[in-house]
Each structure stands twice: as C-alpha cells, then as structure tokens.
C-alpha cells in the first residue's frame, strides 16, 4: 500500500542522488586530470631553460590537454541541452543528403586517409528527410563515425550505410574492422564515462560521453541503438530512425 509506494519513492530518489554524485565526481576527475598535467607543463615552461625544440614539444602537449578539456565541455553541453529539452519538436525535419554529406566530410577529416572509408548512401535524390533537428542527428552519427575511426588501427575499413526500410523508417550503420569490444562490456557502453580501456580512449581524444549522447538522441526520437562486436575483429553500431519520409515534389 502507501508504505510500499513511499519506500519505492525513497529508493528512487536515493538512486537519483547517487547517480548525480557519481556524475559530478566523474566530471571533476575528468577535468582535474588534464588540469594537473597542464599545470605541470606551465611550471616546466616557467622554471626550466628549454631549447626551442623542447619548448615547442611542451606547448604541443599543453594544446592537447586544452583540447581534451574543450571536448569534454562540448560533450557536457550537448548532453545538458538534449536532456533539458524533453521531446524533439515534431515539426522539425532534417534533410538526409545534407546531414550525411556532413558526416562524410567530418569522417574524411578525422581519418586523414588512414582508413578505407566506404559510404553506401541512397537518399532518393535528396528528397529524404528524418524527424528532428540536424545538430542532434549529426552529433549521434558523428560520434559513431569518430569512434569507428578512433578504435580502428590504420589501414582498417570503415563502412557507413544508410538504408530506407520498405516498411518506413531508416537505418544508419557504421561497421569497423577495429579493436572490437568483449561481450561483457557491451551492455554498459552507453553509460556516461564508461570506457573499456580508459587510457586508449583518452589518448585518442575520447571523453567517455559519446555513446551516452548517441543513445539519448536516438531514444528521444523513438529509435534504437544496437551494438554488435567481436573483440579483435571489429564492431557494428546501428541506429534505427523511425520517422523518415520522402518529400513529394
Ligand atoms: P569515448 O569518448 O571513450 O570513445 P564513448 O561513449 O564514445 O566514449 O564510447 C565508450 C567506450 O566504448 C569507449 O571508451 C570504447 O572503449 C568503446 N567503443 C566505442 N566505440 C567503439 C568502437 N567502434 N570500437 C571499439 N570500441 C569502441
């Protein structure tokens, strides 16, 4: 009865509190680490006589840490924005040809010819649209592609596909021949700051927030994120996009 409901409420609130505390602790840790490294470099610059070459090396490393913090703040803002707006506007549509063109351009920029990139995209002469705003979809799809690039060694293959479903809706998938993910990690990948290998993720510029952003965007639009992977072989991330339409001209 009432007592049960109350105790459920309390556990619910306790869980939310714990989650918030964990989140703040995680964010603090993620910011403190690059800050500590940066302070160390500043001290080096200030106190040691360095050659021009050494000085340049230190400044490059400082830049990397600053970029890491910028990436983290950008991802945090994206998450806050998405979580803060309860439902996507139902009257906003995104043109798939423009969206996927951006995804492709960004992918080429990130890979810089280090991978074999394959795009298999049919957008019905530019007439295809999906429900939602472009920035959110770009963030979701862009995160999947940048992960594929970051977790695939040079020379590997990355295949991006867009398929309209005959029964309506569409599917966006990114398949890579990268390092893959052991099965026990897969269910936890979309948790904020969850990483299989923290050092590798950070080295490649990861914030640990990418897949939680992807999941949020997709769920808000009534779609799904599916992950299949084999350690050492590669992974496939698939987004289903329920509301797609082909605009009549
Ligand atoms: P990160 O910024 O660390 O990449 P994400 O939330 O995007 O954070 O991904 C969470 C973790 O999932 C990563 O740290 C990595 O261990 C794993 N992961 C994501 N995408 C891939 C992929 N394509 N191949 C292998 N592992 C991946």
Is there a contact between 162 and 141 (Cβ–Cβ < 8 Å)?
no
Could you write out the DSSP letters of every residue in 44-101?
A: HHHHS---HHHHHHHHHHHHHHHHHHHHHHHHHHHHHHHHHS-S--TT-EEEHHHHHH
Look at residue 205 and tell me whether its pLDDT is greater than 90: no
27-36, 85-94, 226-235, 237-246, range with greatest mean pLDDT? 226-235
| 223 C-alpha to ligand 1 centroid (Å) | 20
| 125 C-alpha to ligand 1 centroid (Å) | 33
pLDDT at 113: 96
pLDDT tens, residue by residue, 35-71:
999 999 999 999 999 999 999 999 999 999 999 999 9
pLDDT tens, residue by residue, 213-226:
999 999 999 999 99
Q: Closest Cα to atom 20, ligand 1: which residue?
A: 147
Mean pLDDT (whole number) for 106-112:
96
Tell me which of 86-90, 99-103, 206-210 is least confident: 86-90
Residue 81 structure tokens: 């924005």
Q: Closest Cα to atom 16, ligand 1: which residue?
A: 196
Q: Is 179 in the pocket of ligand 1 (CB under 6 A)?
A: yes
Q: Closest Cα to atom 14, ligand 1: which residue?
A: 195
Is there a contact between 191 and 202 (Cβ–Cβ < 8 Å)?
no
- Measure the CA–CA gap between 29 and 175, rounded to whole angstroms: 32
Q: Is 195 in the pocket of ligand 1 (CB under 6 A)?
A: yes
Look at residue 246 and tell me whether its pLDDT is greater than 90: no
Q: Which residues neighbour 204 within 8 Å (Cβ) at sequence distance 6 or greater? A: 150, 151
Residue 150 structure tokens: 């970051």
Is there a contact between 66 and 33 (Cβ–Cβ < 8 Å)?
no
Q: What are phi and psi of 244, to 5 degrees?
A: -125, 145
Nearest to 159 by CA among 111, 217, 207: 111
| 197 C-alpha to ligand 1 centroid (Å) | 8
Is there a contact between 76 and 27 (Cβ–Cβ < 8 Å)?
yes
| Closest atom of ligand 1 relative to the 198 alpha carbon | 14
Please give the model's pTM, rounded to 2 decimal places. 0.89
SS3 189: coil
Q: Closest Cα to atom 3, ligand 1: which residue?
A: 208
CA 132 to chain centre: 18
| 65 C-alpha to ligand 1 centroid (Å) | 19
With the C-alpha atoms ordered 184, 185, 189, 192, is the resulting torsion angle positive or negative?
Answer: positive
Q: What percent of the chain has pLDDT over 70?
A: 95
pLDDT at 203: 86
Q: Is 132 in the pocket of ligand 1 (CB under 6 A)?
A: no
Q: Crossing angle, helix 134-150 and helix 96-111, to 10 degrees? A: 30
Q: Is 211 in the pocket of ligand 1 (CB under 6 A)?
A: yes
| 208 C-alpha to ligand 1 centroid (Å) | 7
| Closest atom of ligand 1 relative to the 194 alpha carbon | 10
Please compute, for residue 33, the number of CA atoms within 13 A of its CA located in the half-sphere on the CB side.
15
Q: Is 131 in the pocket of ligand 1 (CB under 6 A)?
A: no
Q: Is 201 in the pocket of ligand 1 (CB under 6 A)?
A: yes
- Measure the CA–CA gap between 66 and 61, rounded to whole angstroms: 9
| 138 C-alpha to ligand 1 centroid (Å) | 17
Distances (CA, A) of 40 to 31, 48, 222: 15, 12, 46
Q: Calculate ∠ Cα 29-12-198, nearest 5°.
A: 25
Is there a contact between 236 and 172 (Cβ–Cβ < 8 Å)?
no
């Amino acid at each position: 009865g009432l007592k049960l409901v109350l105790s459920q409420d309390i556990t619910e609130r306790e869980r939310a509190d714990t989650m918030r505390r964990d989140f703040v602790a995680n964010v603090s840790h993620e910011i403190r680490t690059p800050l500590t490294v940066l302070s160390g470099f500043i001290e080096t610059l200030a106190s040691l006589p360095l050659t021009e070459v050494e000085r340049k090396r230190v400044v490059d490393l400082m830049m990397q840490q600053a970029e890491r913090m910028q990436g983290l703040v950008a991802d945090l803002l994206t998450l806050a924005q998405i979580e803060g707006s309860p439902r996507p506007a139902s009257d906003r549509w995104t043109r798939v040809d423009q969206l996927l063109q951006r995804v492709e351009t960004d992918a080429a920029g990130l890979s810089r010819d280090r991978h074999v990139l394959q795009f298999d995209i049919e957008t019905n002469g530019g007439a295809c649209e999906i429900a939602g705003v472009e920035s959110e979809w770009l963030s979701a799809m862009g995160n999947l592609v940048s992960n594929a690039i970051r977790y695939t060694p040079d020379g590997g293959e990355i295949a991006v596909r867009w398929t309209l479903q005959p029964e309506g809706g569409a599917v966006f998938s990114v398949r890579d021949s990268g390092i893959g993910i052991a099965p026990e990690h897969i269910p936890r990948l979309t948790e904020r700051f969850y990483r299989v290998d923290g050092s590798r993720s950070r080295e490649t510029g990861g914030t640990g927030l990418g897949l939680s952003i992807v999941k949020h965007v997709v769920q808000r639009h009534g779609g799904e994120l599916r992950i299949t992977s084999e350690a050492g072989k590669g992974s496939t991330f698939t987004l289903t996009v329920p509301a797609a339409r082909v605009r009549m001209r």
